[in-house]
A and B are shown apart, each in its own frame.
Chain A
Amino acid sequence: MTMLLTDSPLPTTGLPVTEADYLALGPTGSRVELWDGSLHTCPRETPRHQLIVGALAVALRAGRADMNILAGVAVRLDPGRIAVPDLIVTGPIDLDAELVEAAEVRLVCEVVSHGSAAVDRAMKMYCYAAAGISWYLLAEQEYNALYSYVLSGGVYIQDSVMHLDGVTGTQSDN
């Protein structure tokens, strides 16, 4: 299959896409995920989004050396279903693999941005649960809140809501 996705958001031929096609894309200019043969491609993130991701990564690390906190790696949720979460927490894994398996993921975290809100709140809420990932953290910039969900009986139940206060960078005045 011919795929041209270097800096473009769109491939030119060949949908639906297989896992092999997806992996053959290599690094892309924007975040690209594979949902059962469809591709979802999101804009690059804003500095504010990345600031929150960084702060959450530090908070999740919490001084423990037995976990990996990884940003922007591809996770196979199901054959043909590959997401690229903002953050994942895993135990020991093959650090050179091109995909992390969902079974290796203990927690997944998304920082909602405008372009990904529907996918983060609906699609990923469902698909991360279907893949058996125990915890889902959803950081909502719009509400300044961090929602945590725990897997129970195959669906996520809201566990807690925390303020996102304290995640502030150095902002110019204009």
Chain B
Amino acid sequence: MTATVFGNPLPLTEDEFLALGETQQRVELIDGSLLLSGRGAPRHQYVVQALATVLRAGDGHVLAAVNVRLRPGRILIPDLIVAADIDFDSPLVEATSVRLVAEIFSPASPAIAEVLRMHCYAAAGIRWYLLLDQETAALRGYELVGERYLERSPAIMQQALNLGTRIVGAGLLPPD
């Protein structure tokens, strides 16, 4: 990626951002600025897949690490989304077709998931936001009411997402 990235002064447009293609890190576009994060340890990937399996019991398509356009010039890459009616060959999923976003975070790095992403997903009108702590298995589900996310119980989430069972955080961690 070195060759394509060097010589790209900020701010980046959406086209320039998409032209970066596959990158070694999670690279996200926030209004012309870039947020660079690691791809995540094996634990992170394990938990992402485990949660995806649970969410697949419900409605919609469950996709990991795709570009979601929250608004023009703001493209984040959630760990997981649940979406309906999407173009599977488009480089971008529009926020309007995203029903749920899930982020699996490390308790050592809470600020991005708990503050920045929550703010951006709420501003984009994404109805559900799931936050899962990959160390303690603490799971919180939020539903957008007006402009804010309100925490909902596992039972309410199960019903709203049409899942067969409640999501239990502890069942999603790798075995010790």
A residues with CB within 8 A of B: 4, 7-13, 15-16, 29-30, 35-44, 80-81, 114-119, 121-123, 126-127
Q: Which residues of A contact B36 (CB under 8 A)?
A: 10-11, 15, 38-41
Q: Do the beta carbons of A122 and B116 come within 8 Å of each other?
A: yes
B33 at the interface (CB under 8 A from A): yes
Bound together, the chains give a CA A40 to CA B120 distance in angstroms of: 15
CB proximity of A113 to chain B, nearest CB, Å: 9
Q: Do the beta carbons of A12 and B119 come within 8 Å of each other?
A: no
Known interface pairs A38-B112, A41-B10, A118-B116; A4-B2 also in contact (CB < 8 Å) = yes
Q: Which residues of B contact A29 (CB under 8 A)?
A: 9
Bound together, the chains give a CA A119 to CA B76 distance in angstroms of: 14
**Residue from the list A35, A37, A42, A81 in contact with B33, Cβ < 8 A:** A42
Q: Do the beta carbons of B27 and A35 come within 8 Å of each other?
A: no
Q: Do the beta carbons of A123 and B10 come within 8 Å of each other?
A: no
Known interface pairs A43-B33, A126-B115; A118-B8 also in contact (CB < 8 Å) = no
Bound together, the chains give a CA A44 to CA B12 distance in angstroms of: 12
Q: Do the beta carbons of A9 and B8 come within 8 Å of each other?
A: yes
Q: Do the beta carbons of B12 and A9 come within 8 Å of each other?
A: yes
Q: Do the beta carbons of B111 and A127 come within 8 Å of each other?
A: yes
B32 at the interface (CB under 8 A from A): yes
Q: How many residues of B contact A (CB 8 A)?
A: 36
Q: How many A-B residue pairs have CB under 8 A?
A: 121
Bound together, the chains give a CA A35 to CA B112 distance in angstroms of: 7
Mark contacts of B1-44 with chain A using CB atoms, 8 A cut-off: 1 yes-contact digit, 0 otherwise: 11001111111100000000001110100111111111100000
Q: Which residues of A contact B33 (CB under 8 A)?
A: 40-43, 115-116, 119
Known interface pairs A9-B8, A39-B36; A16-B111 also in contact (CB < 8 Å) = no
Residue of A nearest to B2 (CB): A12
Bound together, the chains give a CA A30 to CA B12 distance in angstroms of: 12
B171 at the interface (CB under 8 A from A): no
Mark contacts of B97-124 with chain A using CB atoms, 8 A cut-off: 1 yes-contact digit, 0 otherwise: 0000000000011111001101110010
Q: Which residues of A contact B12 (CB under 8 A)?
A: 9
Bound together, the chains give a CA A11 to CA B2 distance in angstroms of: 9
**Residue from the list A35, A40, A122 in contact with B34, Cβ < 8 A:** A40
Known interface pairs A7-B9, A10-B5, A119-B116; A41-B34 also in contact (CB < 8 Å) = yes
